[in-house]
Amino acid sequence: MEIPNRAEVIGYRDWYLKHPKYLNTVTQRAAPYLYLVAKEIEKRDMPMELVLLPVVESAYNPNARSPSNAVGLWQFTSGTGQRYGLKQDYWYDGRRDIQASTHAALDYLQKLHDDFNGDWFHAIAAYNAGEGRIQKAVDKSRRAGKSGDFWSLDLPRQTTEYVPRLLALADIIKNADSYGVKLPSHPNKQQWQQIDAGGQVSLSVVAEMAGLSLQEVKALNPGYLRGSTPSSGPHHLLVPKKDARELELALAELPSGRRLKPGEQFVLPGEEERVQLASQRRSKSNGQRAAQLTSYTVKSGDSLWSIGKAHGVTKAQLLSWNKLPHHQLKVGQTIKLQAKHTPQKPRKNYEVRRGDSLYSIAQRFQVSIDELKRLNRLSNNSQLKPGQTLIIKG
């Protein structure tokens, strides 16, 4: 990419140059992944600057999670990840998988590049903000008589900064000697290779067979969430290239009984169990009791989507709880669902003071006047007296 000499780029370049420790840390963290990402970009004949996009997105941390629950090197949300083929379940999250997420991210970036007629700045901005928002900004710029290029767009601050940050990094790395920057050197050769584990296997067993620490195996395979490959797949593993062939053959011959370390026990939850585990975790984190099973009679016009929306559950959960073979419902059919349980708010007492009114008490405790009346059986004509005790729902 051509890097423009604009104030926005210069500002970020100066910031990075004043923080060499950050540059050193992030390039060290990227070391296991850089070659794999770069080779995929090269294979697709895409701009090599894209190898730096995970620096801006996640600081090359495959376990990074944003406030909006975007995950992985490339910060995929759940929906976008699914749209680009990234499997997500109890055992595995493809958004954290180095190779799977890189393929998906580059597929998405290529689509955006094509959508914006070959403009990489627009494509990169759309990766951050969404193609709809960027297209609206382009149209608005052109209606105002401007060029419609990235620099003329009215965008949220995060997206306005996103492209300059990437370009500033690229400029520094291209011209490191000129800027007096010394970056860690990494061998430009394949160090890791993907193999087939031949079924479910403990990552600790793989570490022992490969002569690696468990942390090294997990760092190369962050998509596996439970310390093993899933029973239903995927079963691929990223391992050191020099031992890859021998390790794959050894795993193929490994008896099922040795795929676990002594003392390990795999729980193999189905969809229903996963739903219950997730529900229990949410209940604990929210201080709620576990959801109660209840039933619902299907009415005319109902669908799984409308029933799920009304009761705060998903279509997948309804299918699982009722073991429905298809999505069709019949009027009068009874289905099971777990209604969300809202815990009762604790009650406390308040002693009325001189000058108090229902309005001032309601404001103080952030409750409604009607709620105060209901809890204390007060009529519209009731007068408060100093020393009177009122029930307040916290």
Catalytic residues, by residue number, are: 57
CB 352 within 8 A of CB 360: no
- The enclosing H or E element of 277 equals helix 271-285
Per this entry, what is the length of the chain?
A: 394
- The enclosing H or E element of 238 equals strand 236-240
What burial letters (b/e) apply to 19-31, b meaning 16+ CB within 10 Å? eeeebeebbebbe
Q: How far apart are CA 327 and CA 303, in angstroms?
A: 8
- The DSSP secondary structure of 101-119, one letter per residue, reads HHHHHHHHHHHHHHHTTT-
Q: How far apart are CA 43 and CA 48, in angstroms?
A: 11
- The DSSP secondary structure of 156-185, one letter per residue, reads -HHHHHHHHHHHHHHHHHHTTTTTT-----
Q: How far apart are CA 340 and CA 21, in angstroms?
A: 48
180-188's contacts with Cβ under 8 Å and 24+ in sequence apart are: 181/17, 181/20, 181/23, 183/23, 183/24, 183/27, 184/24, 184/27, 184/28, 184/31, 186/27, 186/31, 186/34, 186/35, 187/35, 188/35
CB 341 within 8 A of CB 292: yes
CB 216 within 8 A of CB 191: no
CB 293 within 8 A of CB 336: yes
Q: Helix 203-210 crosses helix 241-252 at what angle (to 10 degrees)? A: 120
SS3 assignment, position 129: helix
Burial class (CB in 10 A: 0-12, 13-18, 19+), 17: middle
